[in-house]
Amino acid sequence: MKKIRIGTRQSPLALWQANKIASILGAKGHETEIVAITSEGDDNLKQPIYSLGLTGVFTRSLDIALLNDKVDIAVHSLKDVPTVLPETLQLVAYPERASSADILVYKSEDIFEKEHRVIATGSLRRKAFWNHKYPTDTIVDLRGNVQLRLKKLQDNDEWDGAIFAFAGLDRSEILEELNSKGLHYKVIDWMLAAPSQGILGVVAKEGFDLSDINNPECELFATVERQFLNVLEGGCTAPIGALVEKIDDENYSFKGAILSIDGKEMITIERQFKANEYPTKGKEFAEECIAQGAAKMIEEIKKEIGSK
């Protein structure tokens, strides 16, 4: 059996994810090798993510490695993977989903009593949701891997907190270390997750079969959430949240939202659907948002991003 070369970014979290897939593949009898590759998004920590290009700043280098046969598969946090992949590449497995939640990591409990806070995040979605709820707060840009972002939070006396994905800190085994760093965390239960947040996605050339490590329910979650994103986004980086949750074996719930960059406007949708209906539901839910005015909002977002 041929050894599977696993392409990954070089951050500690990305390497954890690649090794997780290597472990899953190993349990199925596959021999693997980890190949670490630098991404444009990791190299450039000065510009906001949305200014680096439309989509895929964390996946382009791995896409090129796949197309040039330098690696056989690429492992990603699925929320970083564009909804339209380069020709001949496809998502071949959705092995697992961890928590989809965002968390606030903060320095002092008095953060919740303050009238004005300074919150750090590099995500347009998190910025928009936070501004929607706390319009007088200041949002500052924060880039880098998990460890670097935490250090920046600790080192900046003016910052009150920063927003992270729960799964990222959990997979990096950092959650239990926060107290020793003088930090605390709280799940932001009113902030809707990025589509596919918490899901691991495996990309390969068309025809590469990894069905033996695929989780069909994760595929359902990812398909609906990414389809919703794809129809609304139109190639534009936008503040969009989407989350599918299981009700029972036959029924699922969906929550979706799109916001203006300043968070002042928000269109939301909540629906339920049957398991066998999932292949088209993301598109249907997005079209409902478009009927509520989402297309106009996307155009305004494109103009605002283009002017920065």
Residues labelled as active-site residues: 80
Q: Which two tokens stand for residue 171?
A: 């997979």
**288 neighbors 269 (Cβ within 8 angstroms):** yes
Cβ pair 123, 104 in contact under 8 A: no
Q: From residue 296, give the alpha-carbon distance in Å to each of 10, 40, 67, 69, 233.
A: 38, 31, 36, 41, 12
Full 3-state SS string of the chain: CCCEEEEECCCHHHHHHHHHHHHHHHHCCCCEEEEECCCHHHHCCCCCHHHHCCCCCCCHHHHHHHHCCCCCEEEEEHHHCCCCCCCCEEEEECCCECCCCEEEEECCHHHHCCCCCEEECCCHHHHHHHHHHCCCCEEECCCCCHHHHHHHHHHCCCCCEEEEEHHHHHHCCCHHHCHHHCCEEEECCCCCCCCCCCEEEEEEECCCCCHHHCCHHHHHHHHHHHHHHHHHHCCCCCCEEEEEEECCCCEEEEEEEEECCCCCCEEEEEEEEEHHHHHHHHHHHHHHHHHCCHHHHHHHHHHHHHCC
Q: Which two tokens mark 135?
A: 């319009």
Give dist(CA 175, CA 165) in Å, integer. 11
